[in-house]
Amino acid sequence: MSVLRVLGRPMLASMFLAGGLDSVRRPQDVAPAAEPVVQPVTERVDALPDRTEQAVRLSGAVQVAAGLMLATGRMPRPAALAIAATLVPTTLAGHRFWEEDDPEARSGQRIHFLKNLSMLGGLLIAADDTGAAPSLLWRGRHTARDVRRDARLVRRSLRAGAVPATVAARVRAKLPG
Protein backbone atom coordinates (compact mmCIF):
# COMPACT_ATOMS: atom_id res chain seq x y z
CA MET A 1 0.00 0.00 0.00
CA SER A 2 1.20 3.47 -0.83
CA VAL A 3 2.58 5.73 1.91
CA LEU A 4 0.19 8.44 0.73
CA ARG A 5 -2.81 6.18 1.36
CA VAL A 6 -1.47 5.07 4.75
CA LEU A 7 -1.08 8.70 5.83
CA GLY A 8 -3.91 10.32 3.90
CA ARG A 9 -6.82 8.11 4.92
CA PRO A 10 -6.43 8.70 8.67
CA MET A 11 -5.96 12.42 8.03
CA LEU A 12 -9.17 12.55 6.02
CA ALA A 13 -11.01 10.46 8.62
CA SER A 14 -9.85 12.52 11.63
CA MET A 15 -12.37 15.33 11.09
CA PHE A 16 -15.25 12.86 10.93
CA LEU A 17 -14.10 10.92 13.96
CA ALA A 18 -13.98 14.09 16.06
CA GLY A 19 -17.21 15.55 14.68
CA GLY A 20 -19.01 12.22 14.87
CA LEU A 21 -18.04 11.72 18.50
CA ASP A 22 -19.34 15.20 19.33
CA SER A 23 -22.63 14.42 17.59
CA VAL A 24 -23.01 11.12 19.43
CA ARG A 25 -22.18 12.62 22.83
CA ARG A 26 -24.03 15.94 22.53
CA PRO A 27 -26.62 15.86 19.75
CA GLN A 28 -28.59 18.65 21.43
CA ASP A 29 -25.78 21.09 20.52
CA VAL A 30 -26.40 20.74 16.78
CA ALA A 31 -30.04 19.60 16.70
CA PRO A 32 -31.50 23.12 16.32
CA ALA A 33 -29.31 23.84 13.30
CA ALA A 34 -30.03 20.40 11.83
CA GLU A 35 -33.82 20.66 12.22
CA PRO A 36 -34.57 22.35 8.84
CA VAL A 37 -32.69 19.63 6.95
CA VAL A 38 -33.46 16.58 9.10
CA GLN A 39 -37.25 16.93 9.28
CA PRO A 40 -37.96 16.89 5.51
CA VAL A 41 -35.64 13.91 5.10
CA THR A 42 -37.12 11.91 8.00
CA GLU A 43 -40.63 12.52 6.65
CA ARG A 44 -39.66 10.86 3.36
CA VAL A 45 -37.42 8.07 4.71
CA ASP A 46 -39.22 5.83 7.19
CA ALA A 47 -36.03 4.06 8.31
CA LEU A 48 -34.64 7.25 9.89
CA PRO A 49 -35.56 8.28 13.43
CA ASP A 50 -38.28 10.93 13.79
CA ARG A 51 -36.52 13.03 16.41
CA THR A 52 -33.77 15.34 15.20
CA GLU A 53 -31.46 14.51 18.11
CA GLN A 54 -31.68 10.81 17.28
CA ALA A 55 -30.97 11.49 13.60
CA VAL A 56 -27.96 13.63 14.57
CA ARG A 57 -26.71 10.87 16.87
CA LEU A 58 -27.18 8.27 14.10
CA SER A 59 -25.26 10.45 11.65
CA GLY A 60 -22.48 10.85 14.20
CA ALA A 61 -22.33 7.10 14.79
CA VAL A 62 -22.03 6.48 11.05
CA GLN A 63 -19.24 9.06 10.86
CA VAL A 64 -17.36 7.43 13.75
CA ALA A 65 -17.73 3.86 12.46
CA ALA A 66 -16.95 4.74 8.84
CA GLY A 67 -14.17 7.09 9.95
CA LEU A 68 -12.50 4.25 11.83
CA MET A 69 -12.86 1.98 8.82
CA LEU A 70 -11.40 4.62 6.51
CA ALA A 71 -8.55 5.44 8.88
CA THR A 72 -7.55 1.79 9.29
CA GLY A 73 -8.00 0.91 5.62
CA ARG A 74 -10.79 -1.60 6.27
CA MET A 75 -13.28 -1.34 3.43
CA PRO A 76 -12.20 2.25 2.76
CA ARG A 77 -14.32 2.74 -0.35
CA PRO A 78 -17.72 1.98 1.26
CA ALA A 79 -16.58 3.86 4.37
CA ALA A 80 -15.79 6.97 2.31
CA LEU A 81 -19.21 6.76 0.64
CA ALA A 82 -20.96 6.41 4.00
CA ILE A 83 -19.18 9.48 5.36
CA ALA A 84 -19.98 11.40 2.17
CA ALA A 85 -23.66 10.51 2.60
CA THR A 86 -23.64 12.03 6.09
CA LEU A 87 -21.59 15.06 5.06
CA VAL A 88 -24.14 16.43 2.58
CA PRO A 89 -26.98 16.99 5.09
CA THR A 90 -24.47 18.07 7.74
CA THR A 91 -23.13 20.76 5.42
CA LEU A 92 -26.58 21.90 4.30
CA ALA A 93 -27.76 22.12 7.90
CA GLY A 94 -24.70 23.61 9.55
CA HIS A 95 -23.32 26.08 7.03
CA ARG A 96 -26.23 27.92 5.45
CA PHE A 97 -24.21 30.99 4.52
CA TRP A 98 -26.92 32.19 2.14
CA GLU A 99 -29.21 32.83 5.12
CA GLU A 100 -26.69 34.96 7.07
CA ASP A 101 -27.25 38.73 7.20
CA ASP A 102 -23.99 39.64 8.93
CA PRO A 103 -21.16 39.83 6.33
CA GLU A 104 -18.58 38.38 8.74
CA ALA A 105 -20.83 35.47 9.73
CA ARG A 106 -21.70 34.91 6.06
CA SER A 107 -18.01 34.80 5.14
CA GLY A 108 -17.23 32.36 7.96
CA GLN A 109 -20.12 30.08 7.03
CA ARG A 110 -19.13 30.19 3.35
CA ILE A 111 -15.57 29.14 4.28
CA HIS A 112 -16.93 26.21 6.31
CA PHE A 113 -19.31 25.28 3.50
CA LEU A 114 -16.46 25.25 0.97
CA LYS A 115 -14.24 23.30 3.41
CA ASN A 116 -16.94 20.65 3.67
CA LEU A 117 -17.36 20.68 -0.10
CA SER A 118 -13.62 20.04 -0.52
CA MET A 119 -13.76 17.23 2.06
CA LEU A 120 -16.65 15.75 0.09
CA GLY A 121 -14.41 15.83 -2.98
CA GLY A 122 -11.66 14.04 -1.06
CA LEU A 123 -14.15 11.41 0.11
CA LEU A 124 -15.36 10.85 -3.44
CA ILE A 125 -11.75 10.40 -4.58
CA ALA A 126 -11.18 7.97 -1.69
CA ALA A 127 -14.35 6.10 -2.65
CA ASP A 128 -13.03 5.71 -6.19
CA ASP A 129 -9.51 4.72 -5.11
CA THR A 130 -8.97 1.03 -5.75
CA GLY A 131 -5.62 0.99 -3.96
CA ALA A 132 -3.78 0.12 -7.18
CA ALA A 133 -5.92 -3.01 -7.58
CA PRO A 134 -8.12 -3.10 -10.65
CA SER A 135 -11.78 -2.39 -10.03
CA LEU A 136 -14.44 -4.99 -10.76
CA LEU A 137 -15.56 -3.01 -13.79
CA TRP A 138 -12.01 -2.94 -15.19
CA ARG A 139 -11.56 -6.67 -14.53
CA GLY A 140 -14.87 -7.45 -16.23
CA ARG A 141 -14.04 -5.39 -19.31
CA HIS A 142 -10.60 -6.92 -19.63
CA THR A 143 -11.88 -10.45 -19.11
CA ALA A 144 -14.43 -9.90 -21.88
CA ARG A 145 -11.70 -8.50 -24.13
CA ASP A 146 -9.48 -11.51 -23.40
CA VAL A 147 -12.32 -13.93 -24.19
CA ARG A 148 -12.97 -12.16 -27.52
CA ARG A 149 -9.25 -12.28 -28.36
CA ASP A 150 -9.05 -15.99 -27.52
CA ALA A 151 -12.11 -16.69 -29.67
CA ARG A 152 -10.48 -14.89 -32.61
CA LEU A 153 -7.31 -16.95 -32.14
CA VAL A 154 -9.30 -20.20 -32.11
CA ARG A 155 -11.13 -19.18 -35.30
CA ARG A 156 -7.83 -18.32 -37.01
CA SER A 157 -6.28 -21.60 -35.86
CA LEU A 158 -9.24 -23.57 -37.19
CA ARG A 159 -9.06 -21.74 -40.52
CA ALA A 160 -5.31 -22.18 -40.71
CA GLY A 161 -5.66 -25.90 -40.02
CA ALA A 162 -8.59 -26.29 -42.37
CA VAL A 163 -6.73 -25.07 -45.47
CA PRO A 164 -3.87 -27.61 -45.30
CA ALA A 165 -6.35 -30.36 -44.43
CA THR A 166 -8.42 -29.50 -47.51
CA VAL A 167 -5.34 -29.50 -49.73
CA ALA A 168 -4.17 -32.81 -48.25
CA ALA A 169 -7.60 -34.35 -48.87
CA ARG A 170 -7.54 -33.24 -52.53
CA VAL A 171 -4.06 -34.66 -53.01
CA ARG A 172 -5.08 -37.98 -51.41
CA ALA A 173 -8.11 -38.13 -53.65
CA LYS A 174 -5.92 -37.81 -56.76
CA LEU A 175 -3.44 -40.47 -55.67
CA PRO A 176 -4.04 -44.01 -56.85
CA GLY A 177 -5.42 -45.97 -54.05
pTM of the complete model:
0.70
Q: Is the pLDDT of residue 102 over 80?
A: yes
What is the pLDDT at residue 177?
A: 64
- Domain borders along the chain are 3-128, 134-177
Lowest mean pLDDT among 58-72, 102-116, 125-139, 142-156: 125-139
Contact, 123 vs 87, CB < 8 A?
Answer: yes
Contact, 41 vs 59, CB < 8 A?
Answer: no
12 phi/psi in degrees, rounded to 5 = -65, -40
Q: At 176, is the pLDDT very low, low, confident or very high (cuts 50, 70, 90)?
A: confident
